[in-house]
Amino acid sequence: MRRLTTATFVISTLLSTTAIAAPPTGAWVFDSSPEYPDFTRVKVSDDAGKLSGTITSRWYGDLPMKDLRADGDVLKFKIYNGNPKITPTDITIAADGEAVRMTGKLWYQDFDITAHKGTAAELKALDFPSYPLPPHRVVPQKNLAAKPPMGWNSWNKFATAIDDKTVREIADAMVASGLRDAGYIYVNIDDGWQGKRDQNGVLQPNEKFPDMKALADYVHSKGLKIGIYSSQGPKTCGGFEGSYGHVEQDARIFAAWGMDYLKYDLCSGEAFYHTKETVYATYQQMGEALAATGRDIVFSLCQYGRFDVGSWGRDVGGHLWRTTSDIEDTYARMSWIGFDANGVPNHTGPNGWNDPDMLEVGNGGMSHDEYKTHMSLWALMAAPLLLGNDVRTMTPETIELLTNREVIAIDQDVAGVQGLPVKKNGTTEIWTKKLSDGSTAVGLFNRADTPVTVNGNWAEIGLSDAVKVRDVWAHKDAKASAAYSYTLPAHGAVLLTVSR
Ligand code: GLA
């Protein structure tokens, strides 16, 4: 070293820096990966100084590296999985001899994983298939949901801990508790029933559901209908097998089992389909596949209200569409959806319903008054009423909240109008919904955490000719005067019908 001239020293330092600074390019196969998002391989190429690359995931297929740049000998980039609510953070790839090490985070999953140089055969075996979508068509809607669908769904209470025995017991309880006779007809299995595909690609239920056809027959024998769940992505939100590449085949097996309702949830499909056109095409594809089975199957769209779904949900043969991300059993979340977020009202009506998500009544996270607000709001909005609690063990108060015939009648009114707020004053709101018999349903709500008295004149909210007022929770009639005054508990509601 001491013998080097200054010039050779500078040149050799530059050369060695350049050599070290080259970021890794090539194709590698991951040695292991967290189950989510199940990374399989990574490819990076340098085309005359322009870097590009993909990471392949069994959930999301080939994910392009965005904002890819070299930082010394380390690559940095971001990954978008299609979910607009997720702000991606930098992922890094560093060389480790022939191998690479990738560290970072995708959605909620951290990873620090290594990958070895892949052989051509190894890499080829990890190619992620892509399937064509159908050209734009309108799917004729079947008349299966003239009123907002009513029933039960396993997700809110059981998540993926659902099985054949529980579903049968739920069906029994729907009958014994009077819920079926109050109108709750569908027993819907949400995520967590799926097993693997057989050698012909036919999706099998997992070991918790030994015989889907027998289960459907059992539910039908109780005078109920049965529903199931899938996703257009390779994986459902719970990480189970989705319908990606098997749409028609899955529709056929659902029909063969005797399913009457399908909830179709975008889930990992959001990475493949993140434009209005492609998301429409995926729902159209399943809508057409359901129609081709010849069976009457209510089609429930679950893509969290993206791309103004209410304006096209009917055109894919859909009967209801979620308007937001998931409900939770808290007043904050329920009231945000109910008061502030549930879709464009004029999209709702017979055979096409804004779906503010399933009920939480009876799950224990809210007070009785909060659950009364939940039911009152959902009824005024003409929301689908899908119970989310364990109907085998309900308190008398829960049964009363869920089976109040007058509240249900407001929800199920044949005109199918979505109620709207007509007066807001600080934390109080008054909502009205026109009913088909000429009367009006009126909800008075207190969003504050202390009681409040709400008063005013009926005329101010367009009900100058009110002569008969009925409190539908209390089952009490009152003669109307020009003025009204109601004291509402914290987070509470009064629900009325007002007629001439
Ligand atoms: C999404 C849906 C939920 C439920 C879960 C199942 O989050 O919005 O309603 O179906 O997936 O994994």
Question: Which whole number is the average pLDDT over 340-367?
Answer: 97
Angstrom distance (rounded) from CA 200 to CA 371:
47
- For 321-340, what is the mean pLDDT? 98
Specify the 3-state DSSP secondary structure of 296: coil
pLDDT at 354 over 90: yes
Which has more pLDDT, 29 or 20?
Answer: 29
Considering only residues 384 and 22, tell me which one the structure prediction assigns the higher pLDDT: 384
What is the percent of the chain with per-residue pLDDT over 70, rounded to a whole number? 96
Average pLDDT over residues 479-498: 93
* Nearest-angstrom CA–CA distance, 321 and 308: 10
161 CA → ligand 1 middle, Å: 13
Q: What mean pLDDT is predicted for residues 196-203?
A: 98
Stretch 40-58: mean pLDDT: 96
Question: Is 326 a known active-site residue?
Answer: yes
- Tell me the average pLDDT of the chain: 94
Q: Could you give the CA distance from residue 425 to residue 452 in angstroms, rounded to a whole number?
A: 12
Rounded Cα–Cα distance for residues 229 and 211 (Å): 16
Task: Give the residue among 91, 86, 95, 87 at the shortest CA–CA distance from 112.
Answer: 91
Buried b (16+ CB within 10 A) or exposed e, 385-399: bbbbbbbeebeeebb
- For residue 11, what pLDDT is reported? 42
For residue 64, pLDDT beyond 50? yes
Q: Which residues of 322-333 are buried (b: 16+ CB within 10 A; e: fewer)?
A: bbbeebbbebeb
Pocket test for ligand 1, best of 228, 236, 265, 358 (most atoms within 8 A of CB): 265
Separation of alpha carbons 67 and 258, rounded Å? 48
Spacing, Cα 265 to ligand 1 middle (Å) = 7
Residues 6+ apart with CB under 8 A from 69: 51, 75, 76, 77
Nearest CA owner, ligand 1 atom 8: 326
CA of 74 to the centre of ligand 1 (A): 37
**Residue 491 confidence class, pLDDT cut points 50, 70, 90:** very high
DSSP state of 194: E
Residues 142-179 have pLDDT tens digits of: 999 999 999 999 999 999 999 999 999 999 999 999 99
**Residue nearest atom 1 of ligand 1, based on CA coordinates:** 237
Whole-Å CA distances, 148 to 88, 183, 362 = 38, 11, 21
pLDDT band at 464 (very low <50, low <70, confident <90, very high): confident
Tokens linked to 82: 């299609």
pLDDT in tens, 387-445: 999 999 999 999 999 999 999 999 999 999 999 999 999 999 999 999 999 999 999 99
Residue 336 has pLDDT above 50, yes or no: yes
Q: Tell me: the pLDDT tens digits for 273-318?
A: 999 999 999 999 999 999 999 999 999 999 999 999 999 999 999 9
Average pLDDT over residues 200-225: 98
Catalytic hit among 265, 329, 355, 413: 265
> Alpha-carbon distance 339 to 381, whole Å?
10
More confident residue, 86 or 479: 86
Report pLDDT for 14. Answer: 44
Which pLDDT band, with edges at 50, 70 and 90, does 21 fall under? low
Ligand 1 pocket check for 250: Cβ under 6 Å = no
Average pLDDT over residues 213-222: 98
List of domains in the chain: 7-125 (2.40.128), 150-411 (3.20.20.70), 420-499 (2.60.40.1180)
Q: Give 465's pLDDT tier (boundaries 50, 70, 90).
A: confident
Q: What is the pLDDT of residues 245-273, one digit of tens each?
A: 999 999 999 999 999 999 999 999 999 99
Confidence at residue 82, expressed as pLDDT on a 0 to 100 scale: 84
pLDDT band at 20 (very low <50, low <70, confident <90, very high): low
Angstrom distance (rounded) from CA 360 to CA 374: 8
* Residue 22 banded pLDDT, cuts 50, 70, 90: confident
Amino acid at 89: T
Atom of ligand 1 nearest to the CA of 302: 8
Q: What is the pLDDT of residue 23?
A: 86
Is the pLDDT assigned to residue 18 strictly greater than 60?
Answer: no
